[in-house]
Structure 1
Amino acid sequence: MTEIGLKTKDEVLIPVRMLNEYRYCPRLAYMEFVDGEFVDNEHTVEGHRRHETVDVEKGKMPSPDELFGNMRARGVTLSSSEFRIISKLDIVDMGDDHVFPVEIKKGKGPEEGAWPADVVQIGAQIQILKDNGYECNEGYIYYSASNKKVKIEYNDDVLIELITAINGMQGIMNRELIPPPLRNSRKCEGCSLAVICLPDEINLLSERSDDEDIRCMYPARDDAHPLILQEQGSYLSKNGDMFTIKKRGQKIGEVRIFEISHVCLYGNAQISTQALSELLNRSIPVLYFSYGGWFKGYTYSLINKNVLLREKQFEVSRDMKRSLELSKEFIKGKIKNCRTMLRRNCNSECKAALNELGRSIKKIDRIKTMSSLLGVEGNAGRIYFGAFQKMMKNSLDQEFSFEGRNRRPPKTPVNALLSLSYSCLVKDLTVAALAIGLDPMEGFYHTSRYGRPALALDIMEEFRPIISDSVVITVINNEILSTEDFIFRGGACNLSSQGRKKFYAAYERRIGQKVKHPVFGYQVSYRRIMETQMRLVSRYLQGELERYIPFTTR
């Protein structure tokens, strides 16, 4: 056999499944093993189902010198200290003096032989058995969809492929830069991590591809939705695969757990330990708000294991030059979208404001300091909110007059709506940051301080006008809300319980609305776009993109 050419050995045992992923796509292996990313799709769910019987440990696995007769073991976990790999073997068939592994695959095999990635995987399993003292020179791959069993002989070619995959995995484990995505590959179309990888998008933005046909390889909308509990005294508990909502012992609602993206608890709404534990198991965050909608904090499962990404985030946040580069893009996107809102809703009456905002955008490219950027943003905000009233129907001027922004507490209905809408938006971007593995509290433009989700506030800038402000204009102009939906107390103004329900429904409609992405050309919901933009920030931090491009609409 070929002499082993392994590079320096890492203390970490590499799962054999990752060698399969590496041979299939190095970027996929990096995301799953280094970043800790994984998303199910119909292919992975079906694969799990096919493996249910073989994953359960069954049958004895005697030592090499105790083999006798024909035997079979399932779900056998073994490792190789020489090759630094570990595997849970689906099936090990045994004879009097030899063994051979059988790997179960849910898909179809090629017309001849087996897929290269599967050959590496079965080769690794053979090597593990050999290193544990068993006589093993062949293995089998069973492709369920085509009902075909393929024999793989362990020869020099298979060993070379195995060593190449192990060295490759050790290489990506010890490098900071993520491997580049595949170009125009059919492999991406069935990959569950396409929504995370963004292969076509990253290739386009990094100028590795000039193909204008960007594939949207994930659902345009997320099927999961937030569960909002604002009924005071309500109690969320677990009942099988359902969550039940009760108040004073009476059931007032129920929802299937898999349909929930995150849970929002307002004021005195409560949750059982069992329900909270189930949410942690599924990595579904729980977010806490005051009765009036102030975002107080969150509970989340153990944070994404990609500490390298968070190290890069903290490194860039302390680099004033790179932080300024990112911040300029955030604010440029915000001002452009402010112009879009004014142009859509009061074009003829807002020409002066539109011109001034246009000049503000041009100033940003020449800015050299963060204080100058704060000044441009502040002036643009004054111009924008100075024209905000003109976006509302003239007949509603008395009920919803707006003379300027005020907060903590808001004093008018429009300011109350803006504050609540911004709170909802920062909540959604905090959830997106947690899911990706970024620290929502460490930002680049907004300074970090106790309890402040600075990163969420940063990304929020470009979405404030087209999501939060748009929802406010919609509920006012469409008369979804009236002044009867507000409570005035001690100079402060807040929405009533019924008013908040109407507003949350309008907000969810907005972020579920599909829009054409101006760069990638496909249609996806605003919620998907917020997640995509957060991922583009992470790619910039990891050095995969030279600059961050904000989301803007026409």
Structure 2
Amino acid sequence: MLQLWHTLYITKPNTELHLDGQALRVVHGDGREDHIPLHLLNSIITFSYGPVSQNVMAACADKGIGLSFLSQTGRFRFRIQGKTQGNVLLRQRQYLLADSERLAVAAAILRGKISNEALLLARARRNHPEHGGKQMKTAEIALRNLAETMPGTMSAEQLRGIEGQAARIYFSVFPELILTDDVGLHFSGRNRRPPQDPCNALLSFAYTMLMYECLHAAESVGLDPYVGVLHSIRPGKPSLALDLMEEFRPVISERLVLHLINLRMISSQMFQTTDEEGVHLTDAGRKVFLEEWNRMRQREIQIAGIDGRVPLGLLPYLQAQCISRFLRGEVEKFLPITWR
């Protein structure tokens, strides 16, 4: 059974990371120190430009602890990767996957994403019937119909067409999901690279954090995170990680963004603008986000096919396992997670 360990986020500038036996020694800018046993960690994400010792990098590589370096605004810089996990035959099967099988997995991922978009709208409509209920009901029905009537066999062009159609329906009612009176956080359309307003900056940051979870999930079961089925394959693009996250965008990333906005945990004052990075979270805003992100990962839910409750943070790992089982021939098809 998979175990959900912790992700350590280093957010303060000039924070140093050193190895102390089997523990990580975190030296803060003011001289304070924290000691964290390495066996409790499955990944470290640092937004700091402080030094990281070679011993820390080596220990992370040996123990399979993901170590990623991001800019203060959340843009990827580089990462440390150790030995490849899993059986080389699994990756060989991944590389040689037939087009029909690849498109079948891509269709299942897309079906899961659209179903979860409808699920998010249904929950919002149930919790706030007075706010955009009729419009959201229409969008929810349209999304469910789209997911349920997807053909069994589709081309890549057809998949992209359905994905675009679902996105237009979903984001047309996304403004109705935002209940805050902070007008700076209102949503008027999706934009990115870089994001041009606080709501889009929050969405982009949430997608980035989810992508790193999915990248680590793919590597942990021995898959190549750069060889996907839905997203195009090109150098430096973690296509499979991007594929895995599609199913969870609505129910993890977007749901958390709405939680932060609607409970007024994040305000439009927690953002700043730069010429190159666009709009991004301040240190205070990033701290609030990461604290809630960790709480969200630990929250347990029920899903079909598994007895007991499962932490949300394990879902990408379960789906990475499902893809690996499909590639090994242990299951006939890859299926999206069904929420109870």
Query: What's the TM-score once normalised by structure 2's chain length?
Result: 0.92
Match of 2:219 among 386, 410, 434: 434
Which residue of structure 1 aligns with residue 280 of structure 2?
A: 494
Partner of 1:364: helix, strand, or coil? coil
The answer (yes or no) to whether the contact 1:234–1:245 under 8 Å persists in 2 is: yes
Match of 1:515 among 284, 301, 320: 301
- Uncovered stretches (5+) of structure 1, i.e. residues with no partner: 1-194, 196-217
Which residue of structure 2 aligns with residue 274 of structure 1?
A: 55
Which residue of structure 2 aligns with residue 302 of structure 1?
A: 83
Measure, in 1, the Cα distance between the counterparts of 2:73 and 2:180. 29
Share of identical aligned residues, percent?
29
State the 1:281 CA deviation.
2.5
Measure, in 2, the Cα distance between the counterparts of 1:344 and 1:248. 44
State the 1:456 CA deviation.
0.7
The structure having more radius of gyration, on CA atoms, is 1
Which residue of structure 2 aligns with residue 386 of structure 1?
A: 172
The answer (yes or no) to whether the contact 1:336–1:552 under 8 Å persists in 2 is: no
- Uncovered stretches (5+) of structure 2, i.e. residues with no partner: 127-132
Which residue of structure 2 aligns with residue 170 of structure 1?
A: none
Match of 2:106 among 320, 323, 327: 327
Match of 1:450 among 235, 239, 242: 235
1:354 paired with 2:140, answer: yes
Which residue of structure 1 aligns with residue 46 of structure 2?
A: 265
State the 1:229 CA deviation.
1.1
The answer (yes or no) to whether the contact 2:301–2:312 under 8 Å persists in 1 is: yes
The answer (yes or no) to whether the contact 2:178–2:186 under 8 Å persists in 1 is: no
The runs of at least 4 aligned residues of structure 1 exceeding 6 Å deviation read none
Partner of 2:96: helix, strand, or coil? helix
Measure, in 1, the Cα distance between the counterparts of 2:77 and 2:101. 30
The answer (yes or no) to whether the contact 1:462–1:552 under 8 Å persists in 2 is: no
Cα-Cα RMSD: 1.8
Partner of 2:247: helix, strand, or coil? helix
Measure, in 1, the Cα distance between the counterparts of 2:119 and 2:220. 30
Which residue of structure 1 aligns with residue 120 of structure 2?
A: 341
The answer (yes or no) to whether the contact 1:446–1:457 under 8 Å persists in 2 is: yes
Which residue of structure 2 aligns with residue 293 of structure 1?
A: 74
Could you say if the C-alpha distance between residues 246 and 310 of structure 1 is closer, same or farther in structure 2, counting changes exceeding 3 Å? same
Which residue of structure 2 aligns with residue 242 of structure 1?
A: 23
State the 1:483 CA deviation.
1.2
State the 1:366 CA deviation.
5.0
Measure, in 2, the Cα distance between the counterparts of 1:307 and 1:545. 19
1:403 paired with 2:152, answer: no
Partner of 2:25: helix, strand, or coil? strand
State the 1:241 CA deviation.
2.9
State the 1:488 CA deviation.
2.5
Deviations along 1:296-330, one digit per CA (max 9) or x if unpaired, are 442122112510000011111xx221111000000
The answer (yes or no) to whether the contact 1:336–1:361 under 8 Å persists in 2 is: yes
User: How many residues align structurally?
Assistant: 332
Q: What is the letter of the counterpart of residue 414 of structure 1?
A: C
Which residue of structure 1 aligns with residue 150 of structure 2?
A: 364
Structure (1 or 2) with the greater helix fraction: 2
State the 1:518 CA deviation.
2.1
Measure, in 2, the Cα distance between the counterparts of 1:394 and 1:253. 37
1:232 paired with 2:13, answer: yes
Q: What is the letter of the counterpart of residue 16 of structure 2?
A: Y
